[in-house]
Amino acid sequence: MAILVTPQTRILVQGITGSFGARHAQLSLDYGTQVVAGVTPGKGGQFFEHGSHKVPIFDTVEEAAKQTGATVSVVFVPPPFAADAILECNDAGLDLVVAITEGIPVFDMVRVKEKIRNSRTRLIGPNCPGLVTPGTGEKSHGGCRIGIAPGYIHKKGNVGVVSRSGTLTYEAVWQLTSRGFGQSTCVGIGGDPVNGTSHLDVLKMFNEDPETEAIIMIGEIGGSAEEEAANWAGEHCKKPIAGFIAGTTAPPGRRMGHAGAIVSGGQGTAEGKIAAMKAAGIAVAETPSVMAETLLRHWGKL
């Protein structure tokens, strides 16, 4: 089953005519993703061509969704305009919007979060690598790749991966694939302080997904999302989980990498997150290099 998206999910790309959006639209098409529309205001009626693919471009999300049946959007729109791009998806009633854009002003995201709070449209990101549900073809082609993750490292299987860090997502996926263990869905939720979907949201989906048998959850300093997810998992999730927290050596008050990765007021420390995970029965990897090994031992596969 996987979560959130399947190989049949129909995707539209906002910002498909920009260099970054175009490059990753091409890679998604190569992966077998059903990219059925692009959206760039003022360029409606044109086409995005790649190999044998000829993707129609529309001026608005509403028109693109209506004409092509797209239910999911990926946003490659510059920061000043990204919030409105997300809200356009909400207004069009899409199921999911994945915001890749980094550097969206926090105030803009507060406005977005308030408007989509009770909406049918789920937001992943911003400042995230997106998500991948691997397919069954060679190098998992025929799957659904939304965003910037390298599709070729994925393998269809039964491990769910959720992470605030893009690069650590890729590391966990590659470690699993190299050991012969595939993934159900891999979700990068992004590292900004105001985002859409949390660790807890994704854990609940993995817990309910019969295809997902084990989970890797990757967090970092800042905020309390990892503790909340761990506390819930300790009471409700019976599937084996391995975790890793980045930023154990970060000095208090200094932002490390992501905008949300900052320890302030004594909250959001790596030590607190690791303690919460261990108390919930989650196996915690000491370094990124042993994330898959930690899960497989906890799962009884080694």
Q: Which two tokens stand for residue 262?
A: 């900052």
pLDDT tens, 137-154? 766 678 999 999 999 999
Q: Using the predicted structure, report yes or no on whether residue 216 has a pLDDT greater than 70.
A: yes
Longest dimension (CA), the chain: 56
Q: Using the predicted structure, report yes or no on whether residue 254 has a pLDDT greater than 60.
A: no
Q: Which two tokens stand for residue 80?
A: 């000043």
Instruction: List the domains of the chain with CATH numbers.
Output: 10-124 (3.40.50.720), 155-299 (3.40.50.261)
pTM for this model (two decimals):
0.93
Strand partners, 50: 53
Q: Using the predicted structure, report yes or no on whether residue 255 has a pLDDT greater than 60.
A: no
Instruction: Note if 258 is an active site residue.
Output: yes
Q: Regarding predicted confidence, which is higher, 258 or 189?
A: 189
Strands of the sheet containing 72-75, edge to edge, are 47-50, 53-58, 34-39, 10-14, 72-75, 96-99, 122-124
Q: Coil, helix or strand for 234?
A: helix
Q: How many residues does the chain have?
A: 302
Q: Using the predicted structure, report yes or no on whether residue 52 has a pLDDT greater than 90.
A: yes
Q: Which amino acid is at 43?
A: K
Q: Coil, helix or strand for 169?
A: helix
Q: Which of 141, 154, 199, 258 is catalytic?
A: 258
Mean pLDDT value across residues 15-39 = 97
Provide φ and ψ at 246, rounded to 5°. -90, 145
pLDDT given for residue 137 in this prediction: 73
Mean pLDDT value across residues 184-203 = 94
pLDDT given for residue 253 in this prediction: 57
pLDDT given for residue 301 in this prediction: 96
Sign of the dihedral defined by the CA atoms of residues 220, 145, 299, 286, in that order? negative
